Amino acid sequence: MLAALAFAITVPLGLDTYLPTPEENPLTAEKIALGKALFEDKRLSRDGSTSCATCHLAKYAFTDREPVAVGLQGRKGDRRTPSILNRAFGKSFFWDGRTKTLEEQVLLPITNPKEMDLTLAEAVERLGGYEARFRQVFGAKGNERILAFALASYVRSILAGDSPYDRYMAGQIEAMGAAALRGLRLFRGKAGCLACHVGMNFSDERLHNTGAGKIDAGKAFKTPTLRQVAEHPPYMHDGSLATLEEVVDFYNDGGKANPGLDAEMRPLQLTNGEKADLTAFLRALSGVVRDGN
């Protein structure tokens, strides 16, 4: 069940003003503030060197610029750090969609030996300094469930919108330049991007095989949001494409052939000018990012 918001939160232009929230974890300003503190707390890693914010940096659309995630002691993960923008609207989480709620998702990096490498019992034990806040916000002693609820509440507040595209769609016809407008038409038409990058968050939340990457090439991965996409190269699940231009070239070529390639993948036959226009549109999806207000 989903609950109505317990307080007013500023939702950027272009997003649904209804923010889905689990009935058992209604969103409050106090939960968001507590979750942000935990998100930034390096005590949640075994050696005290790494927090959630180490890889999910606000200046890079809440991801980073590493090809694959780098956890404590320089341990490299298997996949790129995903952006967590607009995950309040998400229906599946992680590149492989293996969890269905934020409350499930937020705890797994803590226990992953390549990321933060703590058991949840150890994590809770380290958070004794939060005890007064746990009791104030949740009315109970800190535990795994409260840790999950607080972190998920903060992530749910991280929202991106109010881009040139959103302003154009709201009637500000001068918000996007000519190249970006041509790119929008390509995005909706010849380039076929709407097959997967659909809706206000430009993701169908489904898994697709495009053949992308050097790691796990030929597997199916969740469609990432295109919000703020220009702000956080490299791209694909393993960071194997360095620029937006390379991404457009990859799709223009029809992806990389493999036995499970999605039926939507095909050569697009875009001209150099059309590829430049499509890239201009993708850059027009960068706007305002807010967390917790």
Does residue 269 share a domain with residue 257?
yes
Tokens 């007013």 locate to 8
Residue 99 backbone phi and psi in degrees, to 5: -120, 155
Residue 93 domain flag:
yes
With beta carbons less than 8 A apart as the criterion, state whether 280 and 177 touch: yes
The band of 14, judged by pLDDT with boundaries at 50, 70 and 90, is: very high
Residues 183 and 232 in one domain: yes
CB 286 within 8 A of CB 163: yes
The pLDDT score that the predictor gives to residue 292 is 81
- 36-63 b/e with 16+ CB inside 10 Å = b? bebbebebbbbeeebbbebbbeeebbbb
Considering the domain architecture, whether residues 152 and 190 belong to the same structural domain is answered as: no
Confidence of residue 4 (pLDDT cuts 50, 70, 90): very low
Question: Among the three residues 126, 143, 159, which one is the final residue of a domain in this structure?
Answer: 159
Same domain, 69 and 168: no
Mean pLDDT, the chain, rounded, equals 95
**pLDDT computed for residue 293 by the predictor:** 64
Quick: pLDDT tens for 86-112: 999 999 999 999 999 999 999 999 999
179 and 148, same structural domain? no
Domain end: 130, 159, 188, which one?
159
- pLDDT confidence of residue 2: 52
> DSSP label at 150?
H
Give yes or no: residues 185 and 146 share one domain.
Answer: no
Backbone angles phi, psi at 76, to 5 degrees: -95, 135
Q: How many domains does the chain have?
A: 2
Residues 91 and 117 in one domain: yes
- Tens digit of each residue's pLDDT (9 = 90 or more) over 106-164: 999 999 999 999 999 999 999 999 999 999 999 999 999 999 999 999 999 999 999 99
Q: Which domain holds residue 61?
A: 29-159
pLDDT band, residue 70 (cuts 50/70/90): very high
Domain match, 231 and 154 both = no
Same domain (yes/no): 88, 123:
yes
**CB of 211 closer than 8 Å to CB of 263:** no
Q: Is residue 5 part of a domain?
A: no
Same domain, 148 and 95: yes
Residue 168 lies in a domain: yes
CATH number for the domain harbouring residue 109: 1.10.760.10
Nearest to 34 by CA among 184, 140, 138: 138
Give me the mean pLDDT over the 246-275 stretch: 97
Does residue 150 contact residue 127 with C-beta atoms inside 8 Å? no
Q: Does 5 have pLDDT greater than 60? A: no
**Quick one: 45 and 133 in the same domain?**
yes
Res. 7 pLDDT band, cuts 50 70 90: low
- Report if residue 62 sits inside a domain: yes
- Average pLDDT, integer, range 216-237: 96
Per the omega criterion (within 30 degrees of 0), is the bond before 234 cis?
A: yes
Residue 3 has pLDDT above 60, yes or no: no
Q: Write down which residue in 139, 159, 179 finishes a domain.
A: 159
Short-list 63, 54, 56, CA closest to 232: 63
pLDDT of 9 reads 84
Q: DSSP string covering 42-111, please?
A: GGGSTTS---HHHHSBGGGTTB-S-SS-B-GGG-B-SSPPPP-TTGGG-SSBSTT--BSSHHHHTTHHHH
What tokens were used for 165? 């595209």
